[in-house]
Amino acid sequence: MDRNFEKMASIDAQLRLLAPRKVSEDDKLVEYDALLLDRFLDILQDLHGEDIRETVQECYELSAEYEGKRDTRKLEELGKVLTSLDPGDSIVLTKSFSNMLNLANLAEEVQIAYRRRIKLKKGDLADESSATTESDIEETIKRLVVDLKKSPEEVFDALKNQTVDLVLTAHPTQSVRRSLLQKHARIRDCLTQLYAKDITRDDKQELDEALQREIQACFRTDEIRRTPPTPQDEMRAGMSYFHETIWKGVPKFLRRVDTALKNVGINERIPYNAPLIQFSSWMGGDRDGNPRVTPEVTRDVCLLARMMAANLYFSQIEDLMFELSMWRCNEELHARADELHRSSKRYAKHFIEFWKQVPPSEPYRVVLGDVRDKLYNTRERSRQLLSNGISDIPEDATFADIEQFLEPLELCYRSLCACGDRPIADGSLLDFLRQVFTFGLSLVRLDIRQESDRHTDVIDAITKHLGIGSYREWSEEQRQEWLLGELRGKRPLFGQDLLKTEEIADVLDTFHVISEHPADSFGAYIISMATAPSDVLAVELLQRECHVKQPLRVVPLFEKLADLDAAPAAVARLFSIDWYRNRINGKQEVMIGYSDSGKDAGRLSAA
């Protein structure tokens, strides 16, 4: 107890000393660093005794002295301290320095955020070398208008018609566990709030206690994964960023864009159906050289993403219901609410009793109540399919596609605007609509990646099955001619009697998974080690043969030097094919380089 009071007095003294003088950015970093280090050393002493604390401090000071003066004697002293430790203390010391390094990084992150806030308050522009942040949006738009002589209307039209697709990849070498990432986020929050200007003494004490808890929880958490993460684990880890940051960050970012446009004379918001940002993922879809990514994994990841998306929407829809308590609405919404209210069967057994009693005089709540019910069913059906492979919730009780989900939300938006309540429509409902257009029902679109040779193996098995020879031995012209002939026709190429190796079955089963899931679950089909037009046409044919109703866009990835050199000719040949040109409708995505180009051509040539 006494120690806690001493700590709070120390914090108070620091803040009082800082108040009358100008605080530099470096001062702030020192304060953040010192506070976190002090709290960690206290925890270390409580857990492992004063001797280990003094050893850690001694090693820390010797390291700092050596770094500052390059005095080899300090390095020798440090070596003697380390070699004198028993194995148990060595482990504690190693873990201590690992945690201290993490805390130093967190202090720097909070300092960077502090620096950005100060610059934004002053109106200073970020210098050219700084990373662009949301606070630079308005300045960027002003530069387009002033320096590049673009009209505000031109900028607005350009923004409406562009999309940045951010793709999340995953690596089993990701070192920081999700449990620690979440604790680090809470430490950042505590540290930021501790230095807020309007904080009270009680707030400080409670925040300092919370900070100590989180630091101790980090120290007590194993930093090392004891089992290799599965692709599903990678997906869950990636999705945690959506839950903690991206989900609420997207509508906030789009509002910042609206504000920036308003400040250059555009009094119109970015339409909710023109998302500036979308998200894709390779987690559970990138099977190139990874035997752990199987068709079953891809299926699980699709269901997991759908379940997570429905859960995020579900957690927000009730807040929206409370907010939209208005009674005035247009005829269209009134008719829908009246129909739903009279059809008690529309309400699921899990629906909250209070909302069963919502009268037609609160029509928005009635319509959104039905949305909430279907979101619950969508989440639970995905959860059951993921756990058991079957579900007792019928598909027609869920949202099967994004249009079904959007329709009642757009109805509410139109009604509010028609009744003179546009400011209300442009509140939480607009944010919700923007989230739906950005994230869809699957949160991220899963990209599938497979090597071109694997597709060649499948087509070769098919041509042998048909008794027309070995596709692998054909020339590129022969391959293209046969593939196009089949693409223009309708005959099925194989049935259950096709002889399949394990690898061939894996490729075909992946296409069947694509065909069985909603189209909005997937993004692109990427062909790594692509070399020729036939690689693209082969994937198109396999999609058709496996009954993919809305075929994925096919993206050739040219990697090796010879393939990169030949890529322009290969793509030009694709564009010369009438069938393919009609298929892509004027849009083609191509990937170049990636990792293998550096191995093959060297880093300079690859770049």
Q: Give the residue among 410, 405, 421 at the shortest CA–CA distance from 329.
A: 421
At which residue do the structure tokens 């396999």 appear?
542
Sheet of 445-451: strand order equals 164-168, 277-281, 445-451, 522-528, 553-558, 591-592
CB 135 within 8 A of CB 112: no
Gap between the Cα atoms of 488 and 485, Å rounded: 5
| Helix or strand run (H / E) with residue 523 | strand 522-528
Is residue 80 part of the annotated active site? The answer reads no
3-state secondary structure of 448: strand
The pairing of beta strand 445-451 with beta strand 277-281: parallel
Whole-angstrom CA distances from 388 to 309, 382, 391 are: 20, 10, 8
Which residue out of 69, 252, 547, 599 is catalytically annotated? 599
3-state secondary structure of 528: strand
The string over 435-457, giving b where at least 16 C-beta atoms fall within 10 Å of a residue's C-beta and e elsewhere, is bbbbbbbbbbbbbbbbbbebbbb
- Cα first-last separation, the chain: 60
Strands (E) located in 60-136 = none
Whole-angstrom CA distances from 530 to 288, 526, 570 are: 12, 9, 10
CB 521 within 8 A of CB 442: yes
Gap between the Cα atoms of 279 and 270, Å rounded: 18
User: Which amino acid is residue 462, in one-letter code?
Assistant: I
Which residue out of 22, 121, 122, 171 is catalytically annotated? 171
Q: Give the residue among 379, 377, 368 at the shortest CA–CA distance from 415.
A: 368
Q: Which two tokens stand for residue 472?
A: 């692998």
Q: Give the residue among 525, 509, 517 at the shortest CA–CA distance from 451.
A: 525
At which residue do the structure tokens 């029902």 appear?
441
Gap between the Cα atoms of 157 and 145, Å rounded: 13
Gap between the Cα atoms of 353 and 114, Å rounded: 46
Query: Which residues neighbour 288 within 8 Å (Cβ) at sequence distance 6 or greater?
Result: 449, 450, 451, 528
At which residue do the structure tokens 């564009």 appear?
575
At which residue do the structure tokens 């699980």 appear?
300
Query: Which residues neighbour 385 within 8 Å (Cβ) at sequence distance 6 or greater?
Result: 303, 391
User: Which amino acid is residue 51, in one-letter code?
Assistant: D
The string over 355-381, giving b where at least 16 C-beta atoms fall within 10 Å of a residue's C-beta and e elsewhere, is beebebebbbbbbbbbbbbbbbbbbbb
Is residue 334 part of the annotated active site? The answer reads no
Query: Which residues neighbour 191 within 8 Å (Cβ) at sequence distance 6 or greater?
Result: 32, 35, 36, 106, 107, 110, 211
Catalytic residues: 171, 599
